[in-house]
Structure 1
Amino acid sequence: MKLTALVDNKRLDNRTDLVVERGLSLHVSSMGRQILFDAGSSKAFCDNAILLNIRIQDVDAVVISHRHHDHCNGVSHFLDSNSKAQIYFRECEKTDYCFKAFGFKSNVGIDKALLDKVKDRSSFVRQTTEIFPNIFVITNLSGKYEQPKGNKYLFTNSGQGCKPDTFDHELLMVIKESDGLIIFTGCAHSGVLNMVETAVELFPNTRIKAVVGGFHLVGVPLFNSIGGTKEDIEAIGQALLSYPIDKLYTGHCTGMKAYGLLKGVLGDRLEYFPTGRSVVI
């Protein structure tokens, strides 16, 4: 597998030509297929793809991890460049998504007009679905572990007032190559440990080559605070060590403070994955 970060909050130091945004978009090339996992919030990932010699028109499928704008609104621009790829969302109730903290409130949800724009090319997934051979979209996520504490600032509103987001709009992607699994988390609002546990339950006794994506260990993004305590973050790192994971590539909503704490536990197993970086897994 070749994996490239088309958009993340940060970029490679030597690639000042690339655009960054608070969002996530990954290009995945595996087993003869090209997958776009998340699409950021703007055209940035498309512009960066050109500079990174990736042809958006050749993408075979788009998988959207959840319905927050920084992962899906860029799909509108994707349609301008690609005429064939199916776009996969998790089936869920129609609602608004918002962030609330310290008296501040903002809309963080998908552009509702986007769903109408992509309706002829959308698939809404209710259960584990093999979209291509050995490429899986998974909706039934484990609840073994606690969800990230930073979720407490995130809500839904379907017309009956704000309620805590249960993240029934979030999915997991797992690619099963001949030598192991690669797990894609998006923001891991359901918890990175729950996502790993889900993959382990579905594919027992299988090596995990990599876990890729954000872990949502940030508290309030503006302040780069951590969700929970230092001990909470380190405990997540220790729990990740108990799984057969070779590498973890993260960024976006993990937060730099939490990343530093995880790095202290996971060492060389954990790497930051900024805009412009490519790895072969």
Structure 2
Amino acid sequence: MKITALIENISKGGLLNEHGLCVHIAYEGKNYLLDTGASDLFIKNAEALNINLEEVDAGILSHAHRDHSGGYEAFFKYNQKAKVYLRKESREQYYIKKLCIKKYIGIPDDILIKYPKRFTYVTGDYRIDKGVSLIAHKTNDMEKRGKAMNMFRKVDGHFQLDDFSHEQSLVFEAEKGLVILNSCSHGGIENIIKEVKESYPNREILAVIGGFHLMGLLGTSTMRLSEGEVRKLGKDLLDSGVKNIYTCHCTGNKAFALLKEELGDRLHYFQTGDCLEF
């Protein structure tokens, strides 16, 4: 199993970067693409890394935000076969409130209508292939997290607090345990780990990969939680028993530094161009 970051907020080796996330996964002879970042930059990085996007067998949209879905139109020009799996709630529109203004942050306008045959909507826990599954949120009161993040969804013309029902975890069954990918973990990475354990009782979790949505609205040096809350999250992750934790994107530099103090060698940053093998 080989996991490569095709686009992330920072990069190395001359690769491009942007605020977004796109991850390529090679597993058991097949290729998967998690998200596309905010634009087509991931395609240029894939070429530089000798990853052929025409060979992607399935795409997965982690959640219905633009910085993860902005490159699908470009992807569909390169790849004619891959279905993209997303939650049925991704049809709704998603917003963030800044001051008194609700700003649209959802999937690019009309892409779901323009390419209806490329998208497959799923509910509950859903198996894509042998050893590859999508895990839905099972945690109650997710609206509280939507309120704390000032995030909303527009349903039948009315705004509601985001309950992150459009978010899903991608889980691979590796030889030494489960590998979880959740691009932003709006539902809480600690909750996501519990949800996966519920779906896979008595299975060890080898790795968790993704953003933890701890960054504040003013950039990577800010946090939306207090220092004490971030440190508690670090302790919870330590207690979870997850052996390898790779975070990126919306975690933020300040929160990462605090988590690193709590988690030590278990925590790593996953940037554009990084490649993990399990």
TM-score, scaled relative to structure 2: 0.94
- In the TM superposition, what whole-angstrom CA distance separates every residue of 1:227-262 from its partner, at most 9, and x where no partner exists? 221010111110111122111111101111111111
Distance 1:233 1:149 in 2: 18
Match of 1:8 in 2: 8
* Greater Cα offset, 146-155 or 38-47: 146-155
Give the CA RMSD over aligned residues.
2.0
Change (3 A) 1:151 1:132: farther
Q: Distance in 1 between the 2:245 and 2:3 partners?
A: 13
Deviation string, structure 1 residues 35-88 (Cα, Å, up to 9, x no partner): 101111110111110001100001110010000001112111110111111110
- Name the counterpart of 2:86: 89
Structure 1 residue 262 corresponds to structure 2 residue 259? yes
User: Which residue does 1:65 correspond to in 2?
Assistant: 62
Determine the C-alpha separation between the residues in 2 that align with 1:80 and 1:21.
Answer: 21
The separation in 1 between residues aligned to 2:250 and 2:79, in whole angstroms, is 28
Which residue is 1:45 aligned to?
A: 42
Greater share of residues in strand = 2
Does the residue aligned with 2:110 lie in a helix, a strand or coil?
Answer: helix
What displacement does 1:164 show? 2.0
Cα 1:124–1:159 shift into 2, 3 Å: closer
Aligned 8 A contact 2:244 2:267 in 1: yes
Most deviating of 132-141 and 98-107: 98-107
The equivalent of 1:244 in structure 2 is 241
Q: Distance in 1 between matches of 2:270 and 2:172?
A: 18
Bigger shift: residues 229-238 or 104-113: 104-113
CA deviation vs aligned residue, 1:10-29 (integer Å, no higher than 9, x gap): 112xx12x111110000111
For residues 119 and 23 of structure 1, what CA distance do their matches in structure 2 show? 24
Kept in 1, the 8 Å contact 2:141–2:163? The answer is: no
Q: Contact conserved, 1:151 with 1:189, CA < 8 A, in 2?
A: no
* 8 Å CA contact retained: 1:185, 1:214: yes
- Does the 8 A contact of 1:150 with 1:216 survive in 2? no
In 2: Cα distance, 1:186 partner to 1:148 partner: 16
Contact persistence 1:57–1:82 (CA under 8 A): yes
- Between the aligned partners of 1:207 and 1:194, the Cα distance in structure 2 is 16
Q: Does the 8 A contact of 1:152 with 1:164 survive in 2?
A: no
Distance 1:181 1:118 in 2: 32
Of residues 110-119 and 141-150 in structure 1, the stretch that sits farther from structure 2 once superposed is 141-150
Q: Secondary structure at the match of 1:162?
A: strand
Change (3 A) 1:148 1:11: farther
Alignment CA distance shift 1:20-1:148 (3 Å): farther
**Residue 74 (1) aligns with residue 71 (2):** yes
Give yes or no for contact 1:40–1:74 (8 Å, CA) kept in 2. yes
Distance in 2 of aligned mates of 1:39 and 1:257: 25
Match of 2:250 among 249, 253, 259: 253
Pair 1:95–1:144, CA change in 2 (3 A): closer
TM-score, normalized by length of structure 1?
0.93
- Which moves more between the two structures, 158-167 or 268-277? 158-167
What is the distance in 1 between the residues matched to 2:99 and 2:64?
23
1:31 matched to which residue of 2? 28
- Of 206-215 and 154-163, more deviation after overlay is shown by 154-163
**Whole-Å Cα distance in 1 between the matches of residues 61 and 25 of structure 2?**
13
Give the CA deviation at 1:149. Answer: 8.0
Farther-moved stretch of structure 1 (222-231 vs 120-129) = 222-231
Q: 1:193 aligns with which of 176, 179, 190?
A: 190
1:1-281 paired onto structure 2 within 5 Å? 1-12=1-12, 15-16=13-14, 18-92=15-89, 94-103=91-100, 105-143=102-140, 151-158=148-155, 160-222=157-219, 224-281=221-278
Q: Is the 8 A contact 1:148 1:217 kept in 2?
A: no
